Amino acid sequence: MTNICIHGHFYQPPRENPWTGEIELQDSAKPYHDWNERIYHECYKANAEAEIIDDKGETVSVVNNYEMLNFNFGPTLLAWIQTKHPETYKKIIEADKKSIELHNGHGNAIAMCYNHMIMPLANLNDKITQVKWGVSDFRFHFGREPEGIWLPETACNDETVEVLISEGIKYIILDTSQAAFIRKIGESAWQDVNTGSIDPKMPYRRYSEFHKNLYIDIFFYDGPVSKSVAFDDVLVSSQNLLNKIHSASDRTIATPENAGTKGSAETEQLIGVATDGETFGHHKKHAERTLAFFMKSLVPQNRLKVVNFGEYLAEHQPEYEVRIKPGDGGEGTSWSCFHGVKRWKEDCGCGGGDGWIQQWRKPLRESLDWLRDQMIIIYENIGSIFFTDVWKARNNYINLLLEPSLENKSNYFEQNAVRSFDENEKLIALKLLEMQRYSMLMYTSCGWFFSEISGLETVKILEYASRAMELVRDVTGIELEEEFKDRLAEAKSNIPKYKTGKGVYMKLVKPHRPASFESGEKNRN
């Protein structure tokens, strides 16, 4: 039996102005107001209402693709859909509930680290908060515990794995290129799979280095099929997709026992596919229709079985354990950078083009790291006046973000505060927590992904940094902005009118700040 599981990673970076909470007009997204709206109509809504069209161009049925996909939604994106498009939000949630019934108690939806931070490059406290917030957000929306979690860009290293294990995550999804060694559980000899030769048709177990009885399981998605779905013409027709699945099920299964032998299509195996969810409708027009017809018609006709990863794992416990590649300096690997995770920290060549360089990536990250570390000192020193445990208080803050009622606010302070506070004191404490929220939002991975520091995504993370510095000033009177701008001056822009990251900050970030911020700055000068 050939089981198939297609995972869609549905995500957009947070686009809200940090001072207004609203998404501003984005001309590049025309005819829509902004990119969230454009991709919503082309993809998120389209997959909830995927049409199956007959030869005459008539709609013969409408399918909710989320009922058949293993999927995750970025927490900030799902919150936006819930607010702006509640009917589609409802269909997403209902699809997960239906999938639980169809897959023996295992839902299609999994969690995601909160704001698409590159986990191996995060400090330990941020790793922990990102997972805790992602799990809490999932629980809030889907009403159950997640079995798996999506790692942004599948970026992973050993410390990230240990955090996931400690938080009780059952499984993650990685690229085959991220595996290093495998061995039969209970045996001593390791087999080298650094060349990507690991068999992706079964799950693997990764034991904790510190607690030998604890572990997380890993699915390695089928690279050739996934890349064809994302970048080739496979989604032009459902038959193309079927052919690609069949070709995968016939490839050699490389395990220590049968290395060099031909795999049989009758063998119990899993063809796992993973791609950006936006592939279905946004990157590839009407691909949601291809997916719907494939799942509803071609799968049952061709002796295939649709599963989700949680269901498959429950029925097929790993027989092999795995070691993942450490990456340079132990910083891990990812699915979208040939150099590990360098795309988010230096000019490695990934994402380049048209003669543009990404030299700005390194000083941008170093500037944000400096700012983050300054805010850690402030948060720990001032936060200890308010909270019994400052990092536990930050981890718990997600509950107040999700349900900001007066009752929940009162409960939050009862559980985390060192004593009773008046409203002004509570406001100071909340500003500290907001400062920490923005200190994580400013690491949203999209800020480094593309070619130029003045791009929409990078400007947005600089806005989040600016908002965090404003909160620092409000609470402590400490000014961090001048040094931050001077550090950004080391980040060279490809566009002459900006010159550096400092120019981008002055021309594209400061104009978005409210008048109150600017007037306060003038008074200080």
525, two tokens: 């000068």
Indicate whether this model's pTM tops 0.85: yes
Q: Which stretch of DSSP H or E encloses residue 324? A: strand 320-324
| Alpha helices, DSSP H, located in 143-286 | 158-166, 223-231, 238-249
d(CA 470, CA 208): 41
Per-residue pLDDT 10s for the chain (525 aa) are: 899 999 999 999 999 999 999 999 999 999 999 999 999 999 999 999 999 998 888 899 999 999 999 999 999 999 999 999 999 999 999 999 999 999 999 999 999 999 999 999 999 999 999 999 999 999 999 999 999 999 999 999 999 999 999 999 999 999 999 999 999 999 999 999 999 999 999 999 999 999 989 999 999 999 999 999 999 999 999 999 999 999 998 544 444 454 433 343 356 899 999 999 999 999 999 999 999 999 999 999 998 999 999 999 999 999 999 999 999 999 999 999 999 999 999 999 998 777 899 999 999 999 999 999 999 999 999 999 999 999 999 999 999 999 999 999 999 999 999 999 999 999 999 999 999 999 999 999 999 999 999 999 999 999 999 999 999 999 999 999 999 999 999 999 999 999 999 999 999 999 878 776 554 454 444
Relative to beta strand 2-10, strand 70-73 is parallel
Of 143, 194, 144, whose CA–CA distance to 170 is shortest? Answer: 144
Q: Where are the domains of the chain?
A: 2-14+27-330, 350-520
Q: State residue 491's pLDDT score.
A: 98
Question: What stretch of H or E contains 519?
Answer: helix 515-524
Residue 24: other Cβ atoms inside 10 A: 11
The three-class DSSP label of residue 350 is: coil
Alpha-carbon span 76 to 136, nearest angstrom: 13
What does the DSSP assignment read for 378-436? HHHHHHHHHBSSHHHHHHHHHHHHH---HHHHHHHHHHHBSS---HHHHHHHHHHHHHH
At residue 3, the pLDDT reads 96
Indicate the CATH number of 2-14+27-330 among 3.40.50.720, 3.40.50.300, 3.20.110.20, 3.10.20.590: 3.20.110.20
CA angle 346, 469, 509 (to 5 degrees): 65
